[in-house]
A and B are shown apart, each in its own frame.
Chain A
Amino acid sequence: MSLLEVQGIARAFGGVQALQEVSFAVETGQIHAVIGPNGAGKTTLFNIISGLLRPHAGRITFLGRDITALPPHRISRAGIARTFQTLALFENMTVLENVMVGRHLRSHSGAVAAALRLPRQLHEEKRIREAALGYLSSVGLFSKAEAPVSALSFGQRRLVELARALATEPRLLLLDEPASGLNPRETDDLAQLIRRVRDDSVTVLLVEHDMSMVMDISDEILVLHYGRPIASGSPAEIRADPEVIAIYLGGEFTGAAC
């Protein structure tokens, strides 16, 4: 059984068909990339998988369970975490607090316990903090823990988002253009980090424009064009696919963003 199965997803906005007949499967332990030109429907696909948008047709199963109609927080609870292309950090909090929010699912204390400062709640709060600091160090931002997120560079903010997503202990991590806005060095570090995440048995599904990174780290690639899948396979197969080459105008294929 595949970890995530997407079957016949379709979604339109007004009269524009953003996605149609999109089907693919993500296998456990892989890094699976979705590529395609701007407007191919990649972010829409992510929004549908993570429950922020409803598909007009199709079915998504995760760990054998239908998650198509679930609201985002239930999908998150099922074990899918995500980052956003246009960062969605909690600007009103510190770096550490952002990651602590990621532990929400892994903690239980309610309002009453908090209001009464029950020992159980204090203990849990300490554990949340320690775990969050752990995730922050794993992305190399331990020293920024108490800084407000607004004080971070763009690349660092991406990492905070990643740490927050990882803090939910997901089975599947969706990364929406994690390398956009990063410089080449940061991108290399990110590729390393994504591999490490995969090695920690978190399956990764990513949308990315940076072709060299995608070709470098992916086990499996799906190519979307105008909302339709036109090819899928290993990086080598995709590189050799005539239709894909035609879309990317051959030469630009190995270049960066298109």
Chain B
Amino acid sequence: MNTGKTAAGILLLTLLAVAVQVGASVSGRDYYLTQLTMAAYTAAVVMGLSLLVGYTGQISLGHAGFVAIGAYTSAFLSTAPLAHASGTALGKSLLRFHVLASRPELYGDGTVVSLAPGLAFLAGLLLAGLVAVGIGYPALRLHGHYLAMATLGFGLIVYRLVLGTAFLGAADGISSVPPLPILPGVACTGEPGQRIANYYIAAGFTLMVLLFLLNLTDSRTGRALRAIHGSERAAAATGIDTAAYKLKVFVLSAILAAAAGGLLTFYRGSIGPSDAGAMKSVRYVAMVAAGGMASVWGALVVGFVLTFLSLRGCFGSFDDAVFGVVLIVIMSFTPEGPFGPLRTLVVRFRARRRPALANGESEKEIPRVVA
């Protein structure tokens, strides 16, 4: 139990988040907050994926598909006009109870009635969860390369569907997504006046995901997940329902991805097919790998920093190449992540006499997919 350590870490991170905001605002660089906000949502996706890939050992090359499901459902349901609803009695009462929401027409002076953004957001989570059950149930019986391909195929199908479907905006995506009200006066939206508030919404969401995952991994459930990664048959023989756990983790990480995708969509006010692309999925995996695979903290830090740098345009025209190189270098030299060997170095430095463990070379059996 690392309750104390966890609490200290979260507290420190919260202080850091506040310091960054104050620093950015005081120095007149408020615009940084926009990218920081988007990076925080991406980091949440990466953390959720690390639970699946790093802890449980089940690869997903289609997680952008779940981000897209959350994002597109939120965007579509909160913008699709329900023209007939506003006139009827039912429509009026639904409006009163905030099941429906009206907003001014973009070009013109009428109003448009659509599903309330909050419900659209929840529908996105629900849909992602349902799709994850449908995909995960057959897919998670597969291992290694087969699972990788199945999830890659799933991601590509989602990409092709959103790209080819007219009511989802095809290549243009969906724009002018309304704000998602969170508290009175505070909404998840890209409006400049709400920039600081939205920075804290994203930070709060990400910190909650962090706390949730840290607690989860350091528990009976977390051990069961790592056991599945270590040896699936031994886990099963020890009484762990491996199929059920794998499915639950898959669904959980899908819902987290959809939640982050939905919030990001309300924040940006739009969503396009590029967010569903296979390259996005690969980036998520790259960040999980660079964060040390089975490390929620690593996933958070790497996911946040790399996404922020990428959004700031620091990688120039080598944006994708950077992620490719990260994948190759990490997997070739330190498959357990860059932090393991670093930690080993520190330990070795502190106590030179104690034999250090070679972290990079685990003694796992060669997992051959076909014997």
Known: A88-B231, A89-B234. A114 touches B220 (CB 8 A): yes
Q: With A91-B230, A115-B215 as given contacts, are A73 and B240 in contact (CB-CB < 8 Å)? A: yes
Chain B 215-231 interface residues, beta-carbon cutoff 8 Å to A: 215-216, 218-224, 226-227, 229-231
B237 at the interface (CB under 8 A from A): yes
**Chain B interface: which of A60-68, A121-129, A137-145, A217-225?**
A121-129
Q: Which B residues between 352 and 371 are near A, CB-CB below 8 angstroms?
A: 357, 362-365
Q: How far does the Cβ of A99 sit from chain B's closest Cβ, in whole Å? A: 10
B363 to A91, Cβ gap below 8 A? yes
In contact, A101 and B227 (Cβ under 8 angstroms)? yes
A105 to B239, CA, bound (A): 6
- Known contacts A88-B231, A91-B363, A115-B215; A81/B238 CB under 8 A: yes
Please give the number of chain A residues whose Cβ is less than 8 angstroms from any Cβ of chain B in the complex. 45
Q: State which size class the interface on B falls in.
A: 35 or more
Query: Does B3 count as interface, using CB distance less than 8 angstroms?
Result: yes
B344 to chain A, nearest CB (A): 11
- Residues B54-112 near A (CB distance < 8 A): none
Partner of B221, one of A114, A116, A122: A114
Q: How far is the CA of A25 from the CA of B220 in the complex (A)?
A: 35
A contact residues around B229 at 8 Å (CB): 90, 92
- Assuming the contacts A91-B230, A125-B1, asked whether A109 and B220 have C-beta atoms less than 8 A apart, the reply is yes
Taking a contact as CB atoms under 8 Å apart, the answer to whether A92 and B220 are in contact is: no
A168 contacts the other chain (CB 8 A) = yes
Chain A residues numbered 124-156 whose CB sits less than 8 Å from any CB in chain B:
124-126, 128, 148, 150-151
* B-side contacts of A77, CB under 8 Å: 239
Interface majority SS on B: helix, strand, loop or mixed? Answer: helix
CB within 8 Å of B: which of A19-54? 50-52
Q: Is A93 an interface residue (CB 8 A)?
A: yes
- Say whether A121 contacts B239, CB under 8 Å: no
A76 with B233: in contact, given A92-B226, A115-B215 (CB under 8 Å)? no
How far in angstroms is the closest Cβ of chain B from A151? 6
- Chain B residues contacting A126 (CB-CB under 8 Å) are 1
Report chain B residues within 8 Å CB of A90: 226-227, 229-231, 234-235
- Asked if A100 is an interface residue, CB under 8 A from chain B, the answer is yes
Residue A208 lies at the interface, judged by CB distance under 8 Å to chain B: no
Say whether A122 contacts B237, CB under 8 Å: no
Over the window 66-93 of chain A, the binary record of Cβ atoms lying under 8 Å from chain B Cβ atoms (1 yes, 0 no) is 0000011100110001101010111111
State A97–B226 Cα separation when bound (angstroms).
10
Q: Which of B212, B219, B236, B238 contacts A52 (CB 8 A)?
A: B236
Q: Known contacts A72-B233, A76-B237, A168-B238; is A92 also within 8 Å of B223 by CB? A: no
B239 touches A168 (CB 8 A): yes
Is there contact, CB below 8 Å, between B357 and A150? yes
- Can you pick out 8 interface pairs between chain A and chain B where the beta carbons lie within 8 Å of each other? A72-B233, A76-B236, A89-B231, A90-B234, A101-B223, A109-B220, A125-B219, A165-B238
